Each structure stands twice: as C-alpha cells, then as structure tokens.
C-alpha cells in the first residue's frame, strides 16, 4: 500500500516510523527537514510538498497541530483533496474541532475520496513502541481500508461511528483525562500543604475510588519523578480544553469543571509551563500555592 504522511511532529514521527519499519511504501512531508531526514533513514521517501506525497498514495495520513493547519493542508489549491486520486482515503489523526472534521469529510466525499478521523489515545512513548490507541470515525469500508495502517501503529482500535465520531470521542476522553490532571494537581498540592507523605498518600488513593488513570499511567513515571519533559505538552492540553469547551457550547452542554481546568492551564502557560508535560500542572499549582514541587522521596 502506498502511503503519504504529512506531519512528523512529536506524535507523527513515531507513527510514520512504525509504518516505515513495517514495510509500507511511505512518502513523507514536514516543514522540518530534519524530521523528514529521520524517516528517510528508515526507508521512507521524501516529498518536497504536500502534493508530492499525495498524488500516488492510496492513503494520505495527516497528523497536525490544529484545525487551521489541517484545513490548509487538505483544502489548499494544491492540497490533499485537490491532488489525491479518486478512491484514495484521507486518514486524519489530528485532534481538531469536530465541526471542521465534518466539513473536511464532506469535502473529501465530494471529491470522490474516503475520509477517516482517528485521533490518538495514549502518549508519544506508546507511539514509539507502536502501542497507540485509536478512536476511529468513518464508514465501514473506509475504516477497513486504513485498518492495516492502524494495526501497524497501535494495539487498540475502537470504531466509534461515522466520520467525526472519532474526534468527538477524543474530546470526551481528553476532557476526563485533563480534568483529572487538574483535580490531581489540587489534591496533591493540598497533601503537600498539609505535610503528608506522597508515597503513603498514593497508597491510600490507589486503594479507593479516588484512583484515576493518571495515578498509574502518567504521574508516577513523570512529574513525581521530576520528569516534566513533554510526553503530552501542557500547551496541547490547553488547546484540547479549548476545543472541548467550544464543542460543549455547540452541543449546549455546560462543563463547569472544564471551564475551571482551562483557566488553570491558562495560568500555567502564563508561568512558562506550556512546553512542559501536562503533568507539570502540579508544579504550576504548587508554585501558585507557595509550595515546593511534590516528588517521590527516593
């Protein structure tokens, strides 16, 4: 299968790397020449622009930072939808405004193209190992067409419904994950402020209904160990919270916790945490509270 891949950032590069290692006929493009060169070293071919990686591809994958960039790449005069051959399928793995996903799916259909939205769950460390989770929206036929790629890049695939369902599921998932991150930050800052031992407090939380996935999948391996290098950057978490609040407003669903979490993440960005891991919201909250960072004792 000939695959074109646009966007080789923190998530796109490991995704594309797995495709290259597993034998796909892969052509890649990114504004970063170094990112392209890294994929060429794994056997991919380098495209000089979006059009060159699109023309002969059966599937065109996009993994891009925001809605506007995805629209630019897909809808430009020499963009994916204008250049792709009829019958090929667009696989957008970006996390964007679901209304934009809907409009892109309609544009693709009008051009005789398939469209699948498959935003990614889990972190860049999982992407490196080919262990990503995908929330997928699209027709049965289009999803079946891209399934070999998803299998090569991840271990868990949920077909959530028609085009747009994957993106909407991702927003619900990230609302809960990022909201839990903010709640945890306040909880552990409170524990620090009251002089409690982190390890013993965790033991209690992990044995009660207060437990959440951040306590197992992220924080014990990141911020509690003084590692706030970005697996999922706080800036991206803030972007997702903004998408979530916009989608909620469109659906007329109030999100009280979501609004508070977005403002807390805005505060953390203002303090310089934007390029840190989103678990660093704990450090931002400790700073706000005049507390030392919460860390394991050993």
Is 109 noted as a catalytic residue in this protein? no
Classify residue 250 as left (phi > 0), alpha (psi -120 to 50) or beta: alpha
Q: Which of 22, 129, 170, 271 is catalytic?
A: 170
Phi, psi of 221 (to 5 degrees): -105, -5
What single DSSP character describes residue 79?
A: S
| Whether the Cβ atoms of residue 70 and residue 92 lie closer than 8 Å to each other | yes
Nearest 5°: the CA angle 89, 32, 241 is: 70
Q: Which residues in the chain belong to E strands, given as ranges?
A: 2-6, 25-29, 45-46, 59-62, 89-92, 114-117, 120-121, 132-137, 154-161
What single DSSP character describes residue 294?
A: P
Report the helix count and the strand count for the chain, using DSSP H and E.
13, 9
Structure tokens that stand for 23 in this block: 């034998």
Q: Which residues are catalytic?
A: 170
């Amino acid at each position: 299968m000939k695959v074109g891949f646009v966007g080789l950032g923190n998530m796109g590069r490991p995704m594309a790397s797995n495709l290259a290692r597993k034998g796909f006929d892969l052509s890649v493009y990114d504004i970063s020449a170094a990112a392209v060169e890294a994929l060429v070293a794994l056997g991919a071919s380098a495209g000089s622009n979006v059009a060159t990686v699109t023309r002969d591809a059966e599937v065109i994958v996009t993994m891009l930072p925001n809605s506007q960039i995805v629209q630019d790449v897909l809808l430009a005069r020499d963009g994916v939808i204008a250049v792709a051959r009829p019958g090929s399928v667009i696989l957008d793995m970006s996390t964007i405004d679901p209304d934009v996903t809907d409009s892109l799916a309609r544009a693709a259909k009008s051009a005789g193209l398939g469209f699948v939205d498959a935003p990614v769950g889990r972190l860049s460390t999982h992407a490196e190992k080919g262990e990503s989770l995908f929330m997928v929206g699209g027709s049965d036929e289009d999803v079946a067409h891209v399934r070999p790629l998803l299998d090569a890049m991840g271990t868990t695939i949920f077909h959530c419904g028609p085009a747009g369902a994957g993106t909407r599921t991702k927003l619900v998932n990230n609302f809960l994950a990022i909201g839990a991150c903010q709640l945890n930050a306040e909880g552990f800052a409170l524990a620090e402020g009251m002089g409690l031992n982190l390890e013993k407090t965790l033991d209690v939380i992990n044995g009660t209904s207060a437990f959440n996935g951040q306590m197992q999948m992220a924080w014990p391996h990141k911020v509690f160990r003084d590692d706030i290098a970005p697996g999922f950057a706080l800036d991206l978490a803030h972007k997702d919270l903004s998408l979530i609040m916009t989608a909620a407003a469109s659906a007329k669903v109030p999100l009280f916790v979501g609004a508070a979490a977005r403002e807390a993440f805005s505060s953390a960005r203002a303090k310089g945490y934007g390029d840190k891991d989103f678990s660093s919201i704990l450090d931002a909250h400790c700073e706000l509270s005049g507390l030392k960072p919460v860390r394991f004792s050993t």
